[in-house]
Amino acid sequence: MNKIAIISDIHGNLPALEAVLDDIKSKNITTIYCLGDVVGYYCFFNEVVEKLNDLKIQTVLGNHDDALINHQGVIERSKTCTNILQWQLKNAKQETIDFLKSLPTHREVVHANNRMKLIHAGLKDNIDEYLFDVSDLYFESNQFKESILISGHTHLISYKKFYSGKVWLNPGSVGQPRDGNNKASYLILDEELTPSFIRVAYNYNLVISAMKEKGFDDYISEGLKTGRKI
């Protein structure tokens, strides 16, 4: 059975990514896609990029990634995100910048003879649109021609199957879950397009202590304990 894994919103959380990659490996899944927001929030962003690069994981650009390379780390609506991204910009390896600059805003791939579109956010705005629900009208008005749409950005798991056979999915977030569950979240999709939403425990205390050591305010990492939005 040809299964694929989809990960999203890692946000510099290396312990969470490593736990998820180990879990994927234990299931003998070799095709992994990443929906972006590789950077932002947590301090292991260079290491996360290195991992994705080493494993040649096909990734798309997220709003934090875009802010880092194209907007001097500024996210207008969030002083916290901006402060972190500007610290990351100062500490970014050249390889990290090069990787982020190579990312497309969307990818079209084929899974089990189904055309699949991968984006960080939405069809209207690939980089920064919060897609909490999707309708037939939304697909039509955005000329969505593929069978499967997979988006991230909300950090919330979503799954909707339409009468047309189209499917919309969101894998949730690896690095910063916001649904009250502190386990890292990712998605496995089989050939029948049946999703499995997987949760993986990891040591978030490693992130909390590293962030403290770098001088960041506690509240940025505290949410990792509860899986609540900061």
Looking at the Cβ atoms of 155 and 166, the one nearer to Mn ion is 155
Among 15, 43, 60, 62, binds Mn ion (CB under 5 A): 62
Among 46, 63, 147, 176, binds Mn ion (CB under 5 A): 63
Phi-psi region of 22 (alpha: psi -120 to 50; beta: other; left: phi over 0): alpha
Phi-psi region of 102 (alpha: psi -120 to 50; beta: other; left: phi over 0): alpha
Integer Cα distance of 63 and 160 in angstroms = 24
- Residue 139 has phi, psi (to 5 degrees) of -60, -45
Contacting range for Mn ion; rule: CB under 5 A; set: 56-64, 75-83, 140-148, 222-230 = 56-64
Report the candidate in 225, 170, 221 with the shortest Cα–Cα distance to residue 40. Answer: 221
Among 3, 11, 153, 166, binds Mn ion (CB under 5 A): 153
Looking at the Cβ atoms of 166 and 168, the one nearer to Mn ion is 168
CB 36 to Mn ion: min, Å: 7
Looking at the Cβ atoms of 23 and 37, the one nearer to Mn ion is 37
Looking at the Cβ atoms of 127 and 208, the one nearer to Mn ion is 127
CB 12 to Mn ion: min, Å: 13
CB 115 to Mn ion: min, Å: 24
By the rule CB under 5 A, 221 interacts with Mn ion = no
Structure tokens that stand for 133 in this block: 């629900």
Pattern 19-38, Mn ion, x by CB under 5 A: ------------------x-
Integer Cα distance of 184 and 46 in angstroms = 19
- How many CA within 13 A on the CB side of residue 164? 14
Looking at the Cβ atoms of 105 and 114, the one nearer to Mn ion is 105
Looking at the Cβ atoms of 63 and 221, the one nearer to Mn ion is 63
Helix axes 63-70, 79-91, angle to 10 degrees: 60
Integer Cα distance of 171 and 121 in angstroms = 12
Please give the size of the binding site for Mn ion, defined by CB under 5 A.
4
CB 130 to Mn ion: min, Å: 9
- Cβ–Cβ under 8 Å, residues 7 and 171: yes
CB 128 to Mn ion: min, Å: 7
Looking at the Cβ atoms of 62 and 177, the one nearer to Mn ion is 62
161 three-state secondary structure: strand
Question: Which stretches of the chain bind Mn ion, using CB under 5 A?
Answer: 37, 62-63, 153
